């Protein structure tokens, strides 16, 4: 199987099969592409297929089960059919004949040669019928999310907002970068990109002229309001974007302690800070639930581990997170927040944030923290992000309103 299109499909199919046995799409795909030898354009298509199929798996499966009469299918055969249906439904640049013929050929390398006829018949039947993929009223199927997520958003935000959110997460999310203001300016960097004629290649990365960071987390760093000369702690810092932005806001003057539980993540933060030339950033391996030596901080960022429902547009595996996988998160988040707050000086300020849209992890955790500890009071966060929703002095960023990831942030000050 040496033709370009088949090799792309084979890489994608094998990656998708591994995801079904417990791998994460991003990590599995990265490893597969590294070992594939595919050229850039081939890698792009393989990436689109893996992320696309993962993002609409439930919707594809509804069609697969309907067309196959509910018969049991191996992981490999189901993957082949998902790939074929995805191409026929969403890849306008791929001729239908290629989508069917080249995808059916995957049965051989995936050791499903006996299913070649079935795969061919199912895909051609789909073409003959001319019916779109599921467009019914079951939101969990139509938008490929676990049912509890759709029900949660319907109950908390209402039907219209729930649909708008799911529709937004079905679309594409842009990649944002932040200019390193210690080295250059936005106009200067844009001029360099234009002169290079290859904006997608982003010249200047190796020189530390920018770092990749979604707008939502940039607004979060802005909300903390770090100033030159202060001592700032970022308790759950990986991958480091907020720490880098905070250090730039500080003019690289003072101390910014960027902590993470995993050693390799702390090393990546240190590497990023070095590339950006930010000497104020000090990366450290630390469990955010434990006391941190070194004295009190002027400001603290507590961007806690969460269910990630606000970033499932970029990380499609999160669409299928089960309720029991997130039920213990608020307890963990509260433990981290309480511990972090102990390191704040009187008069200092703390921002609590998540990249999820789950009230139990957001307003629920922050509200309980304030009720339990009278030393802290709410501080209003002005919605610098256009479209952000303000509620009880907290901010929620909804992708369909802000064009960012889904995000939550709240702020408090220690008064005694």
In this predicted structure, which of 291-295, 305-309, 369-373 has the lowest mean pLDDT?
291-295
Confidence tier at 5 by pLDDT (50, 70, 90): very low
Whether the per-residue pLDDT at 301 is higher than 50: the answer is yes
Query: Where is 179: in which H helix or E strand?
Result: strand 177-179
Percent above pLDDT 70 for the chain: 97
Q: How far is Cα 79 from Cα 20, in angstroms, rounded to an integer? A: 9
Whether the per-residue pLDDT at 4 is higher than 50: the answer is no
Domain 213-414, CATH 3.40.50.10610 — does that match?
Answer: no
pLDDT digits (tens, 9 = 90+) for 367-380: 999 999 999 999 99
Phi, psi of 203 (to 5 degrees): -60, 145
State pTM to two decimals.
Answer: 0.92
Q: What's the confidence (pLDDT) of residue 3?
A: 42
- Residue 212: beta bridge partners? 177
Residues 6+ apart with CB under 8 A from 164: 398, 400
Please check whether residue 99 is in contact with residue 88, taking contact to mean a CB–CB distance below 8 angstroms: yes
Phi, psi of 73 (to 5 degrees): -130, 145
CATH for 4-131 (1.10.10.10, 1.10.940.10, 3.40.50.970, 3.30.930.10)? 1.10.940.10
Query: Where is 283: in which H helix or E strand?
Result: strand 281-285
Q: Is 148 exposed, middle or buried (0-12, 13-18, 19+ CB in 10 A)?
A: middle
Which alpha helices (H) appear in 130-176, and where do they start and end? 139-142, 147-157, 159-170
Query: Is 273 annotated to bind ligand?
Result: no
Q: Which of 56, 119, 302, 355 is catalytic?
A: 355
Query: Is 324 annotated to bind ligand?
Result: no
Whether the per-residue pLDDT at 29 is higher than 80: the answer is yes
Query: Is 294 annotated to bind ligand?
Result: no
Query: Is 238 annotated to bind ligand?
Result: yes
Average pLDDT, the chain: 93
Q: Find how far residue 25's CA is from the centre of its chain.
A: 12
Q: What's the confidence (pLDDT) of residue 201?
A: 63
Segment 173-182 mean pLDDT: 89
Collapsing DSSP to helix, strand or coil, 403 comes out as coil
What's the helix, strand, coil split of the chain in %, to 5?
50, 15, 35
Q: What's the confidence (pLDDT) of residue 203?
A: 83
Query: Is 197 annotated to bind ligand?
Result: no
Q: How far is Cα 370 from Cα 376, in angstroms, rounded to an integer? A: 6
Whether the per-residue pLDDT at 400 is higher than 50: the answer is yes
Query: Is 191 annotated to bind ligand?
Result: no
Domain positions in the chain are 4-131, 213-414
Please check whether residue 415 is in contact with residue 346, taking contact to mean a CB–CB distance below 8 angstroms: yes
Segment 309-328 mean pLDDT: 95
pLDDT digits (tens, 9 = 90+) for 73-97: 999 999 999 999 999 999 999 999 9
Whether the per-residue pLDDT at 292 is higher than 70: the answer is yes
pLDDT digits (tens, 9 = 90+) for 98-140: 999 999 999 999 999 999 999 999 999 999 999 999 999 999 9
Whether the per-residue pLDDT at 195 is higher than 80: the answer is no
Whether the per-residue pLDDT at 200 is higher than 70: the answer is no
Please check whether residue 383 is in contact with residue 390, taking contact to mean a CB–CB distance below 8 angstroms: yes
Determine if the peptide bond prior to 335 is cis (ω within 30°): no
Query: Is 241 annotated to bind ligand?
Result: yes
Segment 391-399 mean pLDDT: 93
Query: Is 70 annotated to bind ligand?
Result: no
Query: Is 237 annotated to bind ligand?
Result: yes
Query: Is 240 annotated to bind ligand?
Result: yes
Q: Is 56 a catalytic residue?
A: no
Query: Where is 385: in which H helix or E strand?
Result: none
Whether the per-residue pLDDT at 157 is higher than 90: the answer is yes
């Amino acid at each position: 199987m040496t033709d370009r299109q088949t090799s792309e499909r084979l890489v994608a199919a094998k990656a998708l099969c591994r995801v079904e046995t417990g791998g994460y799409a991003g990590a599995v795909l990265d490893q597969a592409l590294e070992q594939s030898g595919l050229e850039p354009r081939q890698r792009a298509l393989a990436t689109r297929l893996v992320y696309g199929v993962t993002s609409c798996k439930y919707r594809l499966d509804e069609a697969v089960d309907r067309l196959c009469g509910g018969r049991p299918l191996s992981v490999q055969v189901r993957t082949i059919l998902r790939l074929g249906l995805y191409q026929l439904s969403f890849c306008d640049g791929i001729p239908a004949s290629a989508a069917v013929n080249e995808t059916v050929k995957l049965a051989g390398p995936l050791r499903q040669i006996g299913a070649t006829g079935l795969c061919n018949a199912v895909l051609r039947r789909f073409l003959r019928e001319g019916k779109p993929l599921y467009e019914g009223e079951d939101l969990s199927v139509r938008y490929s999310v676990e049912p509890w997520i759709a029900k949660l958003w319907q109950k908390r935000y209402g039907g219209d907002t729930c649909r708008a959110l799911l529709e937004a997460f079905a679309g594409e999310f842009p990649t944002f970068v932040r200019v390193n203001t210690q080295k250059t300016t936005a106009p200067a960097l844009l001029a360099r990109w234009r002169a290079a004629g290859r904006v997608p290649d982003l010249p200047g990365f190796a020189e530390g002229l920018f770092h990749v960071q979604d707008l939502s987390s940039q607004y979060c760093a802005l909300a903390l309001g770090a100033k030159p000369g202060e001592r700032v702690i970022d308790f759950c810092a990986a991958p480091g974007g907020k720490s880098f932005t905070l250090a730039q806001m500080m003019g690289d003057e003072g101390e910014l302690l960027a902590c993470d539980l995993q050693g390799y993540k702390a090393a990546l933060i240190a590497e990023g800070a070095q590339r950006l030339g930010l000497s104020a950033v000090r990366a450290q391996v630390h469990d955010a639930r434990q006391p941190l030596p070194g004295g009190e901080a002027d400001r603290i960022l507590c961007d806690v581990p969460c269910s990630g429902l606000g970033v499932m547009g970029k990380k499609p595996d999160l669409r299928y997170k089960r309720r029991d996988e997130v039920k213990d998160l608020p307890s963990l988040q509260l433990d981290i927040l309480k511990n972090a707050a102990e390191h704040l000086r009187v008069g200092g300020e703390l921002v609590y944030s998540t990249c999820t849209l789950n009230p139990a992890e957001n307003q629920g955790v922050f509200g309980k923290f304030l009720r339990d500890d009278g030393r802290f009071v709410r501080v209003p966060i002005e919605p610098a992000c256009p479209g952000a929703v303000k509620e009880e002095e907290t901010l929620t960023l909804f992708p369909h309103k802000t064009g960012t990831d889904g995000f939550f942030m709240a702020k408090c000050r220690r008064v005694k």
